[in-house]
Chain A
Amino acid sequence: DAGITQSPRHKVTETGTPVTLRCHQTENHRYMYWYRQDPGHGLRLIHYSYGVKDTDKGEVSDGYSVSRSKTEDFLLTLESATSSQTSVYFCAIRDSKEKLFFGSGTQLSVL
Chain B
Amino acid sequence: GESVGLHLPTLSVQEGDNSIINCAYSNSASDYFIWYKQESGKGPQFIIDIRSNMDKRQGQRVTVLLNKTVKHLSLQIAATQPGDSAVYFCAEGNDYKLSFGAGTTVTVRA
Partners in one complex: yes
Which residues of A line the B interface, CB within 8 A? 1, 31, 33, 35, 40-45, 48, 50, 58-59, 90, 94, 98-105
Asked whether any CB of chain A lies closer than 8 Å to the CB of B61, the reply is no
A44: nearest residue on chain B (CB-CB)?
Answer: B100
B38 CB to closest chain A CB (Å) equals: 9
Asked if B43 contacts A103 (CB within 8 A), the reply is yes
- A41-B102, A58-B97, A103-B43 known; 20 new pairs, CB 8 Å cut-off, are A31-B96, A40-B102, A42-B89, A42-B100, A42-B101, A43-B89, A43-B91, A44-B100, A45-B98, A45-B99, A50-B96, A90-B43, A90-B44, A98-B32, A98-B93, A99-B34, A99-B46, A99-B49, A100-B46, A102-B44
Asked if B97 contacts A42 (CB within 8 A), the reply is no
Report if A48-B45 is in contact (Cβ < 8 Å); known contacts: A42-B103, A99-B34: no
23 A-B pairs (CB sep. < 8 Å): A31-B96, A35-B100, A41-B102, A42-B89, A43-B89, A45-B97, A45-B98, A45-B99, A48-B96, A48-B97, A50-B96, A58-B97, A90-B43, A90-B44, A98-B96, A99-B34, A99-B49, A100-B34, A101-B46, A102-B43, A102-B44, A103-B43, A105-B42
Q: Which residues of B contact A102 (CB under 8 A)?
A: 36, 43-45
B18 CB to closest chain A CB (Å) equals: 25
* The 4 nearest A-B residue pairs measured at CB: A102-B43, A43-B100, A42-B100, A42-B102
Which residues of B line the A interface, CB within 8 A? 32, 34, 36, 42-46, 49, 89, 91, 93, 96-103
**Measured between alpha carbons, how far is A59 from B3 in the docked complex, in Å?**
11
**Measured between alpha carbons, how far is A35 from B38 in the docked complex, in Å?**
14
A37 CB to closest chain B CB (Å) equals: 9
**Measured between alpha carbons, how far is A31 from B95 in the docked complex, in Å?**
12
Asked if A43 contacts B44 (CB within 8 A), the reply is yes
**Measured between alpha carbons, how far is A45 from B92 in the docked complex, in Å?**
13
Q: Which residues of B contact A45 (CB under 8 A)?
A: 97-99
Report if A105-B43 is in contact (Cβ < 8 Å); known contacts: A43-B89, A98-B93, A99-B49: yes
